[in-house]
């Protein structure tokens, strides 16, 4: 037995289904993040540009509708801060792609131009990696968007 064989059990991870994970991440940003921004009356761009990510926690109970609404707003803002942290923890190129697409709202052709990419194939490769990088980072906060292969 060589040294590598003993590591198989310790470091055996389920492979991520890149295509399905990408669809999940895109849908998450298109639907869920938009709802969070609406509820918090805040944008990811505003959160990322703010000097700190110090959100205030929510209570476990609410005594009236006004408090319930406030707690939902605070929770939405806290979730946007977690999303911003996950984006900021991605590798540089992935972070840039995610920022250009979901924070600044640029279209594919604009992102390709910003990154000086000449082909759609190049862009798609980097975009897929960026979405998977985001899913990995976001999973560290207990929110797993990754789809694993069977």
- Tens of pLDDT, residue by residue over 48-76, are 876 444 444 444 544 577 888 888 899 99
Q: What is the pLDDT of residue 55?
A: 46
Cα separation of 120 and 103, whole Å?
Answer: 21
Report whether pLDDT(134) > 50: yes
Question: Tens digits of per-residue pLDDT, 77-109?
Answer: 999 999 999 999 999 999 999 999 999 999 999
pTM of the predicted protein model: 0.78
């Amino acid at each position: 037995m060589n040294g590598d064989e003993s590591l198989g059990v310790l470091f055996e991870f389920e492979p991520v289904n890149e295509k399905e994970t990408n669809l999940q991440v895109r849908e998450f940003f298109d639907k869920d993040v938009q709802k969070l921004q609406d509820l918090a009356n805040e944008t990811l761009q505003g959160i990322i540009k703010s000097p700190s990510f110090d959100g205030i926690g929510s209570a476990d109970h609410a005594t009236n509708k006004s408090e319930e609404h406030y707690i939902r707003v605070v929770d939405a803002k806290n979730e946007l801060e977690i999303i911003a942290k996950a984006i900021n923890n991605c590798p540089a190129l992935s972070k840039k792609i995610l920022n250009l697409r979901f924070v600044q709202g640029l279209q594919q052709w604009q992102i390709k131009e910003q990154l000086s990419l000449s082909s759609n194939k190049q862009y798609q490769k980097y975009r897929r990696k960026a979405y998977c990088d985001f899913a990995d980072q976001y999973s560290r906060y207990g929110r797993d968007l990754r789809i694993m292969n069977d």
